[in-house]
Structure formats: structure tokens, C-alpha cells
Structure 1
Amino acid sequence: ALRRLGYAPTKARKIDDDVQGSRRYAVTTEEDEEERRVDVTVLDRDRQVAGLVYRLWRRLLLASETRRRAIRSLRAELEREALMAYAAKAAGANTPRLLGTSEVGTEAALLIYEHLDTRALEDVPDDEITDDVLTEVWQQVRLFQAQRLAHRRLEGESIHLDKSGHVVLVDARSGEIAAGDLLLRLDIAQCLTYLALRVGPERSVATAAAVLGPDALAGALPLLQRIALTRQTRSALRGKDKKLLSAVREQIVELKPPGVVAQVRLERFRPRTLVTIIGSALAAYLLLSQLGQVDFVRVLTTAEWAWTGIALVAAGLSYVAAALMIKGFVPESLPLGRTVMVQFAGSFVKLVAPAAVSSVALNTRYLQKRGIPPGLAVASVGASQLIGLAFHIALLLFFAYVTGSDAAASLTPSRTLLIVLLAVSVAIVVVLGVSPLRRMISTRVRSLFSGVVPRLLDVLQSPRRIVQSVTGTLLLTLTFVVCLDACVRAFGHDMSFAAVAVVFLAGNAIGSAAPTPGGLGAVETALMAGLTLSGVNPGVATSAVLLFRLLTFWLPVLPGWASFTWLQRHKAI
């Protein structure tokens, strides 16, 4: 193939593959009785398949404007790289000159580049990367931007320095000609991040601003997201300061405070969304398999309507209790009626998000719309969640003890209490023994207390707020327990209130941890299992749980939707 292009190769040796895995060779040719070296890149079908799964995942994950084509024909790949090489050279950028291209049969193709004696910036020590080098990097980027060329891989393996210290850009095969604004801004964001990893955010941003101007950096501000960066840069960010992107943003804001910055969403969906979809599908499968064994006509006709009415009233009071709890943890005045509507709206939001997440997000948004600063709004909701968790654990231990005691005749702890305490102890040992878990818990607890404790101190200064918050927290749990107890009694089974409380508290904890919307599937399974283990007939347990979930999860959806719509229309959330 080289001879067909007029070269007379005398020897060749394989050198390191390029960043995309293509084979590269250093070839010595004889020209006018003089030896000359050229660099040959070989594209073949076998290497095209490498990394295919990762490229398909990125294509599925990212918005259409940012994603690369996962599979191209060999011919299209050859033409793309050649076109980028010619366009970059025409733009005046310092890149290796493309000397020729050729297909090698039907399974491979090669590109011949002039040899430049360079070393990758990745191999250059940090203290050798001067401001002059950084400035020249940005000058090369500016040449690309001026001709609307997107490199798409501005990192250490693609930025080189020649013997005289000048910057050379290589490996532009993934690039785009006639690139849109989004891709050009992504190049700036990528280069800013990589250079910040090497020399710090201050120097990276300062040299970029001197060459490109503050406006260009402000345009890249919304694109400083991990998902927008190359694989190698994302890995480097995980290994270094995780706040580096925030530091880069702060440096840009100092240069040019943004007006209204339009957020750019690059992901079609988040991996967490995929987990939720899979979890919801699994939960629906499990739930439907259970429902297939249930005679709904029998459930509705055999239930005692008096107990069903009590369960309905208790379910309705739970929304008032939730509103009282939120009001108790917010020193500012909140209208009770509108706060109750927010709790009803949460029942609608639970259809698309886990129960704990939807409640926290909606209440925080509501408080912000009431004029409470975001930090204080998050702290207030966090305080209510923290105290709610404490009460939840305390009530679980209390009712577990009461369940196993015969009218307090013996002070011997019940088997249920011992099992609960043992489970909690094992969980604590596991968390303390696994260092990643320990660090994660300590970090979250520290960040939680940094905002929540001052908010709790504000609440403790008002006895009325204390009574309101404690009453709301207790009432919220007790109304659900009363609802479940009434549902069990509606089908003719008499069960102690303490045992029902233990079943609900354990099932609710599992539902809050489940990634499915409203704990769907997990709550039903946990409650049915708990009631069955407590001696309730499996058929009665299934009927009681279905009635309970109908009253507390499905029935409030319609008024929740109405509340959500009304609150949105009146800009309350």
C-alpha cells in the first residue's frame, strides 16, 4: 500500500497505539537516497469493534448533539479522519500533516502522517507546564474554534510538545467539521478541566480568558459536567479533588458574573432513572403475581365498611399530620391549608419517584417559593426528616418491646426486640468495618448536621413549634398504624395494636429505602410478610395490605394531581 503511494519503505516498527486503540507504526522510507520517517496509522475492522459496548452506552445516554456515532464503516472512518486532518491544517493549527491515505483490501486502511518529534503533555511534569505553554494550547484551540472545528478529545494524550516547546494537536479523528456551538463549548470545557487537573483552576482559567475572552468561558460554564468529559478525564477527577469542577466554575464567575445562565442537560436519562425503571418493573411483576391470586370482588364485599371508614379517615389525617410536622420545623409562618395541599401533591409525585425523595424535593421547593432561602429550606426539611427518623426508630423499639411483654408482667426483652437490636448492631458493625461506607456516612452526617442543627436550635426557642413538630411527627406515624390496624380488622382479624405498629414501621422503612416509586412492591411484600409472620392468615394479610395501599397510595393520586396542578398554577411550588 505504501509503495502504491510512491514510498519505498525500508523498515518499520510498531509503536504505541493511539488513544482510540488504532495500531501505529514508525516507518522509515528511502527518498532521493535519504532516509525519512513517517508515522502510519492503521484502521481495521477488528479494532473498530473494541469499546463498542461503551460507545453504544454513551450514545444511548447522551443527547443527540453530543454523542458520537457508535459504528461507522471503515471507509467513513478513513474519510472522517482525513477530512479533519486537512481542515485542521487549513485552519493554521499546528498538527501533523497528512501525506496520504490508502485502503488495504476490504478489512483495513492506513493514513500516512509526517513524523514530528514530540512528547505527550501527559508525560510532561507539571512544573514544566508554563503559562506560555498554556497560552499556546489555547491559541491552538482558538484556531479550531474560529473555523468551527471541534477536536472532542483535548487531553494529555492529544496535546503534544515538540522539541522547541511548541504545542502540537494530534488524534483529531473524533472531531467534527462545521461543528455546532454546543460541541465548540464542550471542547473549551474539556480543555479547561484537563489543564485545571494539571496546573490548577486559577492558571487554567486565567490563560484561557487571556486568549479566548471571558465570554467564551462563560458559554462553557453550564457544560462543566462530568458526563461531558472524556473517559480519562472523568477517571482523573475521581482520583483527585472532587470539587475541582466547582473551583473552575468559581474562577469563571469571578471573571464574568453570569446573568441568566441556561442550564444544558446532556444526559437523556440518569443511571439512577434506569435503576428506578428496572426496580419498578420488577416490583410490578411481583405485585401482579400476588394480585393474580386475589379475588377483588371478595375483598370489597367482605370488608367491614365501618372499619374501612375508620381507615379512610386515618389515611386523610396523615396529610394534616405531615403538614403540622413541616410547620413545626419552620420558624417562618406557613398557611396550614396550602401546606396540607403540598402533602397531597406529594402523593402524586410519588408515582414517578421514590417516596422519601419526592417528599423532600417537593417540601423544599415549597419552602423556597415561600421566600425561605434555599439553604434554610433544605435544613428545615432535613431537620424534619432527621427527627422523623429518630421517632421512627424509637417507636419501632418501643412497640417491639411491648409486643413481647405480657401486660408488663415481665421486664425480659421480647424476641422481636432482640432481633431488631441484633439487626441494628450488625448494620453498625458493617458500616464501621467497611471504610468506603464509613466515609460516606460520616460525610453525609457531617453535611447534614452543619445545616440542620442551627435550624433545630431555632425551633427549640419556641415551645409552640416544639409541640407542633413533635405532635405532627407522632401523629403522622400513628395515623398510618391506625389505618393498617383498621384494614386488618375490616377482614375480621383481631391483632394487637403494638404488633401492627411493628409491622408498619418495618415495612415503611423498607419502602423508603426501595428505589421504586412510592416503594411499590417492596412495601406490599414487607407488610404481607410481617402480618403473616404475626399470625394473620395469608389471604387476610394480602387483602388488608391491598386495602391499606389503596387508601394511602392509590386513592390520594387524583386529589394529589389536582393539588399539584393548583399549586403550580399559583406558583406555590
Structure 2
Amino acid sequence: MTQTHRQEHEDEREDAAARPGQAATAVPVDEPPRPDRIRRPSDAIRFAASLAGLGAVMLLVSFAPQATHGLQTDISETTAHAPLFLLTLATIASSFGVLAVPVAFAVERLFHKDGTRVAIALLAAVIAFAVTILLDDLVITSAPGGVLDSLIWGGTDTAPVHTDIAPVIAFVSAVGMAGRTRWQAATWSMIGLAALTGLTAAYASVAALAATYFLGNAIGHGTLYAVGTPNPRPPGLAVVAALERLGLRTVRAQRFQPDDLPEVRRYGVSVAHAPGAVPTDTSGVALPRGDWQLEVRVLDRDQQTAGVLYRVWRLVRLREAAPRRPVRSLRRSLEQESLMAYAVDAAGARTPRLVGTCEVGTEAALMAYEYVPGAPLDAVPDDDLTDAVLTDVWGQFKRLQSARLAHRRLEGGAILISDRGHAYLTDLRSGEIAAGDLALRLDLAQLLTTLALRAGPERAVRTAVEVLGEQALAAAVPLLQRVALSRDTRAALRHDRELLTRIREQIVRLKPESEAPPIRLERFRPRTIFSIVALTVAAYIVVPQLSSVDPVRLVAGAEWWWMGVALAAAALTYLAAAFMLMGFVPEKLPLGQTVLAQVAASFVKLVAPAAVSGVALNTRYLQRSGVRPGPAVASVGASQLMGMVMHILLLIVFGFVTGSVNTATRDLAPSRTIVIVLLALAVLAGVALTIPRVRRFAAGRLKSMFSGVVPRLVDVLQSPKKIITGLGGSLLLTVAFVVCLDASIRAFGGSLPWTAVVVVFLTANAVGSAAPTPGGLGAVETALTVALTISGLTAETATSAVLLFRLLTLWLPVLPGWAAFTYLQRKEAI
């Protein structure tokens, strides 16, 4: 909090103390020490926005240099006709004023004992000055004619950022001139004049000035966030003084511990009443003296931007929800919550009565509610959460619905259960009056889920039907989806992923015709963004790969017959992968759709390691096919486990055979090197397992995997057909890849014993699965090329064969994989 604000609040308390019958300075306020500095979310947001603006300027000049040069020319031609006297006067005024005005403001702040903020602003100015010097004197001299030379100042002989303006902008951004209109006008007028004279004299460009502005702004807000701003939040004594201006004489006050509303400060307040006036709760029952009579909620201006990125994301993503402002001013937040408090009370719903509202200086506002002793729903013991309490909650909710009031945050912390067992609706800051049908149904879905998390689906639905009726409850079925719920509720559902399904089942049992497909609430889904990013990454990686290959020479030197064989073998791998998955799933899966899922995996693995992407997509496919999440994960894990076991066995067997038969490939056989590597890995694993945290993590992962995989394998072993399908698919997958690699080698005139080709493929595949790159990119190519060269192929033949093999197994399937991925999404099969 600034010294100026402290002085203002001290003056307020002195005025309050001087009034008859009031002694604000003697009121005890029990609260923890206030931090001297805080980090405001708004500073971080402005810092990020400034960096984005700087990037936008660079992209604009990079892709549209003619537009910026044209704007520069227009400004130069326009100012050329201005009187020389005025231009000279503007130059002199800006040269002096651009520094004089900030210095004068700093002196004025020092007189008001606000030196901390001035010191932070000076630090930002120094950092901005150092950065501009670094860019002007080091970057440009070391890279003349580079990106900055053409990007920032458009090829002129000026510097990319202006040393005389950037530190001033950083100082202004960090010192904080909000609410001081005259100082703001004077400062920015001088900065604007300095920019104008630079444009007129042709030593500055529009792009350079824009980049300077965003850079200075970013440094100012970044410094302010890193160091912390002086705490502007008023202390408890200022809150007490504000209450007294409302006619509420405070006896004592205490700051409540932080709860589920970290952006709101809450105080319990005891007030003095006129003789005979006894405070009561909204049910008319008198409160005992000595308890808190008021609960005061303080809204701090610097907290209004908390969670803004999440709110913007929800606003952009959700299709049907009524639009809401992601950012509200302090005044707007105060009015919104006050309006909802009065509307809920008028609707007859039980809520703490709003006694009064008041601004606390310029940085905060308070809302004084009658205090209701009790606990939030989340903290109520299970024994006290009776059906009568649940019914009362639904009764208050029904009054909201009847008055067309949407709460929008019906979580456990927003429902207060008083000591007398009455339900109160609190936390009305996100509410909406005259709400539409969808908003009301979303409230119903949220409250159903909230109560089901505490009392179970059966009790939540049963008590809701008693109050709302079956028809009203059926309207919530299509909206019982995770995206429609609050963030905290979605986090709680991770521990009970089947809860929404069980709620639907309870409602459908009461009203079978209420079963309906979920309503599409999203404008887009995260997987849509995933698809776009995957295509972009694929294009970024594919284009350089293909540009380094001479296709004419590659095609002219290859034998088409063997290329056809390699292509057929590559296509066969998807059928083999489908058989492998189907063999370890006791449930029946359609062959065609399962093959399409494996084709889609060829697209997904471009943005994730091959092992991870295949597991995720196949698990999702099994769930969409009717397999419950647990068995789906176990089935995929079983297929992966058996595939890994078979892979190791084949590598050992064929490595031994290859090393015994052909000395040229003896290096690929299990040898002293492989033994040393395995021993080293074992030692590293042993050392890691001595760390308790690593040991618990590994034990948990193995337990979760084998607890589901082993029973799944037992189910599969009871069906010989499934065993043959799974193991046969795994073997066929390896054979198909080996044939593809061998045909790729022969297509360029090379030849190796087939046992050597098997070892080469198995080794490279193991490396690719372990590599944390999309599709094993880079690791597989390197391993294959080195292994084939060691086996006796020339470097040119090995490189050409590897390029053809990866083209057929990694790059060519991208477009069919994307088509299969999109088709399965449309059919809701993944």
C-alpha cells in the first residue's frame, strides 16, 4: 500500500474519531501482518500483452514491409509542409519535457513519501536503458543487415529501439499514474511529441516507435511484477472506518482465515446497536450477543484480474452459455453482487442480508452482510448432512429458478449450512438476473453434481425430485458433462470419473424418456486445436525433410517392384496392429473401425512419442466402443506389455543368430557392449529406487498397471481365439515392418541377410520408442542408418533405404491418418 493511501486512511480514521460517539482508532482489528509488496495479476497480464504486441509489430514489418514503409512516407510528406518554427518548438519542448515531466512526478511522489514506487520505476528505467543500449550497440554491430535491421526500423540508419523514449515509457508503466489525469496527459504528450519529431526528422520509423513502446511497457510491468508493487490494499482499520461511515459502529473485528475465495478478504465484525436492537438472521431467529453480527467482504481492485485467462478461455470456448465479461471493474463487481443479493432476497431464497456497501479509498470496496454462523457445504460432517438439509438446499434453489436467477457458482463453498441446519446461498458475485433457460439448466447440473459429490448420486437425485419434480430434473441430463461444470468440480470428478454417468442413470430410472444426447456447449474442443497444431507441426517437419531429397534421382535409381512390396508391407502394419489390439480385448470390436483407429494413430504420433500417442488413442477408442475406462486402459496395457515382451525375445533370438552366422553384423548381436549398457541401466535404476519419492512413484505405476493388466490377460487366456489373434497380430506387425525395410533396401540395389534386417529394425524401433520425439523422429533415422552401415551397406544406399522406409511408414500415412482421425471424431469413435 502506498504512503499516500496510508495517509488517506489515517486521515479517515482521525475524522471518524473526531465525530461524536465514535472512536475508530480504539477499535481492535485482529488480522495477520500485511505484506509491504504484492504481485498483481494485472501486471503479469500487461507484461504478456506487451510482449505479444512486440511480436505482432515484428511480424507485421516482416510480412508487410511495404505497408509500414508507406505509412512512414505518408507521415514524412505530411510533416514536411509544417512550419519550421513549430517543428523546432516541438523538438525543443519534447527534448526537455520527455525527461522533465517524469522527474517532476517522481519528486512529487517523494514529497508524499511514496519512494518505494519511485525506486521500482527507476529500476525499470535502468533496465530499459540497458536493453536498448544492448540492442543498439551490440546486436546490430554483430549482425548488420539481419532481422532487426530490416524488421524494426525498416532499413533506415536508426536504432531498433529509441534510448531516449524506452526508459521513460518503462518508468511511467512502473510508477503508476492511474487516477492522476494531469500527470498522465503531460507525460504522454511529451512522449508523443518526441515520437513526432523523430518521424519528422526521419531518424525514427513507425515500426521502431511501436516496438519501443511495447518494449518499454513490457519492461515496466515485468519489473513491477518481479519486484512487487507497494501493497495498495487498505488495512482492517480503514475497513472499520468505512463501516462507520455507513453508520455501523464497530466494537471489534477479526480477519477470517483464507478460504475458497482467495480473491476476497473476509472479516467478522461486532457492532454496537441501539438499546433494544437485537440482530437476527434472515429466518427471524435472534443471534446471541458476543457473536459476529456482520461478515464484511472486501473487494480489492488489484484482484479483479485474478483468473482472467481462464475466464477468457471459457468465454471463447463455450458456445451456448450467455456472454459474460471476463474482466470487470471494481465498481461493476460491487454493483453486480449487490444487485444479485437484493434479487435473491426478493425472490424469497435464504441468503445473508446485505446491510450496506461502501468504497474503501480508491483501491477497494466492501460489502457488509449479516453474519450467519455455520459452515460451507464442503465442511459439513457427513452425519449432519441429512436428507432434510439436502431438501432445504433444493428448496432455496427452486426459489432462484422461479425468479429466473442464475447463480453460476453452486459449488460446496457457495452453500452455507447454518448451525440451525438452514441452507443459505452465498458467493453471488457471478450471478445473473433474467437468466435464460440454458443458464438455469446449467445451474441445475452444477448443483446436482455438487450434492452428488457429498451425498452420493442416489440421495442427490431423490431429494431433488421431491422438490423440483421429475420433469425439471430430466432437463439436466443433456448438460451433465464435464465442460458444463466449474473448474473445482471438474477437478473433484477426477477422483470419481463415473459420477456423472451414475447421476444420469438415477434420473433415467425415474423418467426413462429423459435419456438424450448431451448438448454441444463448446464452440470448439481441445482436440480441434490438437489437430491444427499437429498438422502445423507435420508440415513444419515434412517440408524440410522432403526439400533435402532429390525426388528425380530417388525415383530413377529405385526398383519399382520392391517399392511396391514395401508399400504393401507398410499398409499391412495397420491390419496387424488392429489384430494385436483386438486380441487383448475380450469385448468384440469391429475390424474396419479398429484398422482406422490404427491409421489415425499414425497422424497422432507426429506430435507425441510413438508409445504415448498409441496408448492414448487406443484407450480413447476402446472407451468410445463401450469398454469402461479401467478395462480399456488395462487392455491397451496388456497389448503393449505383450508386444514389448515379444520384441525383447525376438531381439535376443535374432541377435544371437545374426552374430553367430554373419561376422559383418556381429556388432548388432548381444555382445559385451550391450551387456555393459544393460548393467549401467540397472545400476542407474537401482540408484534411482533408493530415493523414496522415486520408489513410491515407480511402485504406484507398476501396481496400477499390473492390477488391471494381469486380470485382463487372465480373461484373454480363457479364449484361444483371442490369444492367437493378439500374439499373431504382434508377430505380423514385426514381420510387416521387417519386410518393408528389407524391400526398401533392395529397391536401391542393396541386400542383407534377413536375420540382420530383423535385428536392425528391432534395435531402431526400440530406440524410437524410447526417444521423446514425435514418431521417434531423428532417433529412428540415425539408428537405422548407423545399423545398416555397420551391417555392410554403403552410406548412400543405407540413407536412401531409410528415407524410403520412413516415407512409407511415417510421412505418407499423415494425410490418410488425419482423414481417419477426423472421420472417427465425427462418428464419435475417439
Q: Verify same fold: TM over 0.5.
A: yes
The one-letter code matched in structure 2 to 1:15 is R
Identify the match of residue 397 of structure 1 among 652, 657, 660.
652
The one-letter code matched in structure 2 to 1:447 is G
Which residue is 2:808 aligned to?
Answer: 551
Which residue is 1:158 aligned to?
Answer: 414
Q: Secondary structure at the match of 2:435?
A: coil
5 Å-filtered alignment, 1:375-454, equals: 387-407=642-662, 413-415=670-672, 418=675, 434-451=695-712, 453-454=714-715
Query: How far did 1:77 drift?
Result: 1.4
Query: How far did 1:304 drift?
Result: 3.9
Q: Distance in 2 between matches of 1:563 and 1:244?
A: 31
CA contact (8 A) 1:320 1:340 kept: no
Query: How far did 1:211 drift?
Result: 1.5
Question: Are residue 523 (structure 1) and residue 798 (structure 2) matched?
Answer: no
The sequence identity of aligned pairs, in percent, is: 50
CA contact (8 A) 1:397 1:420 kept: no
The one-letter code matched in structure 2 to 1:213 is G
* Distance change >3 Å, CA 318–CA 416, structure 1 → 2: farther
Q: Secondary structure at the match of 1:527?
A: helix
CA contact (8 A) 1:95 1:169 kept: yes
Which residue is 2:401 aligned to?
Answer: 145
Q: Secondary structure at the match of 1:111?
A: strand
The one-letter code matched in structure 1 to 2:675 is L
Q: Distance in 2 between matches of 1:332 and 1:28?
A: 66
Q: Distance in 1 between matches of 2:521 and 2:803?
A: 40
Q: Distance in 1 between matches of 2:297 and 2:828?
A: 59
> 1:380-421 deviations in whole A, cap 9, x for unaligned?
9887666545433432333343444445999x9435753785
Q: Distance in 1 between matches of 2:509 and 2:556?
A: 69
Question: Are residue 351 (structure 1) and residue 599 (structure 2) matched?
Answer: no
5 Å-filtered alignment, 1:287-326, equals: 288-318=543-573, 321=576
Query: How far did 1:530 drift?
Result: 0.8
Question: Are residue 532 (structure 1) and residue 793 (structure 2) matched?
Answer: no
5 Å-filtered alignment, 1:200-219, equals: 200-219=456-475
Q: Distance in 1 between matches of 2:782 and 2:557?
A: 22
Which residue is 1:40 aligned to?
Answer: 296
CA contact (8 A) 2:578 2:591 kept: yes
Question: Are residue 459 (structure 1) and residue 711 (structure 2) matched?
Answer: no
The TM-score normalised by the length of structure 2 is: 0.55
CA contact (8 A) 2:717 2:723 kept: no
Which residue is 1:91 aligned to?
Answer: 347
Which residue is 2:170 aligned to?
Answer: none
Which residue is 2:266 aligned to?
Answer: 24
Question: Are residue 65 (structure 1) and residue 321 (structure 2) matched?
Answer: yes
5 Å-filtered alignment, 1:243-322, equals: 244-257=499-512, 259-264=514-519, 285=540, 288-318=543-573, 321=576
Question: Are residue 13 (structure 1) and residue 253 (structure 2) matched?
Answer: yes
- Which residues of structure 1 form unaligned runs of 5+? none
Q: Distance in 2 between matches of 1:541 and 1:83?
A: 75
With 203-212 and 113-122 compared, the bigger mean Cα shift is at: 113-122
The one-letter code matched in structure 2 to 1:459 is P
* Distance change >3 Å, CA 47–CA 457, structure 1 → 2: same
Query: How far did 1:323 drift?
Result: 6.7
Q: Distance in 1 between matches of 2:323 and 2:696?
A: 36
* Distance change >3 Å, CA 129–CA 311, structure 1 → 2: closer
CA contact (8 A) 1:481 1:500 kept: yes
When the two chains are superposed, the root-mean-square deviation of aligned CA atoms in Å is: 4.9
The TM-score normalised by the length of structure 1 is: 0.76
Structure of higher RCO (CA pairs closer than 8 Å, 6+ residues apart): 1
* Distance change >3 Å, CA 567–CA 242, structure 1 → 2: closer
Query: How far did 1:173 drift?
Result: 1.0
CA contact (8 A) 1:319 1:340 kept: no
CA contact (8 A) 1:101 1:109 kept: yes
The one-letter code matched in structure 2 to 1:77 is S
Which residue is 2:758 aligned to?
Answer: 501
* Distance change >3 Å, CA 289–CA 363, structure 1 → 2: same
* Distance change >3 Å, CA 431–CA 473, structure 1 → 2: farther
CA contact (8 A) 1:7 1:30 kept: no
Structure with higher Rg: it is: 2
The one-letter code matched in structure 2 to 1:308 is M
CA contact (8 A) 1:355 1:512 kept: no
Q: Secondary structure at the match of 1:351?
A: helix
Which residue is 2:370 aligned to?
Answer: 114
Query: How far did 1:476 drift?
Result: 2.8
CA contact (8 A) 1:324 1:469 kept: yes
* Distance change >3 Å, CA 242–CA 544, structure 1 → 2: same
Question: Are residue 133 (structure 1) and residue 389 (structure 2) matched?
Answer: yes
Query: How far did 1:478 drift?
Result: 1.2
Aligned residues: 554
Q: Secondary structure at the match of 1:173?
A: coil
> 1:259-299 deviations in whole A, cap 9, x for unaligned?
54212455666767767876776666555555554444433
Q: Distance in 2 between matches of 1:570 and 1:40?
A: 53
With 206-215 and 440-449 compared, the bigger mean Cα shift is at: 440-449
> 1:286-342 deviations in whole A, cap 9, x for unaligned?
5555555444443333334443233234334445655776787899999xxx95796
5 Å-filtered alignment, 1:157-196, equals: 157-196=413-452
CA contact (8 A) 2:299 2:330 kept: yes
Query: How far did 1:250 drift?
Result: 4.3
Query: How far did 1:345 drift?
Result: 7.5
With 128-137 and 99-108 compared, the bigger mean Cα shift is at: 99-108
* Distance change >3 Å, CA 122–CA 34, structure 1 → 2: farther
CA contact (8 A) 1:122 1:157 kept: yes
The one-letter code matched in structure 2 to 1:347 is V
Q: Distance in 1 between matches of 2:246 and 2:827?
A: 76
Query: How far did 1:215 drift?
Result: 3.5
Query: How far did 1:241 drift?
Result: 5.7
> 1:94-129 deviations in whole A, cap 9, x for unaligned?
112223334455533333333444443444332122
Q: Distance in 2 between matches of 1:437 and 1:269?
A: 37
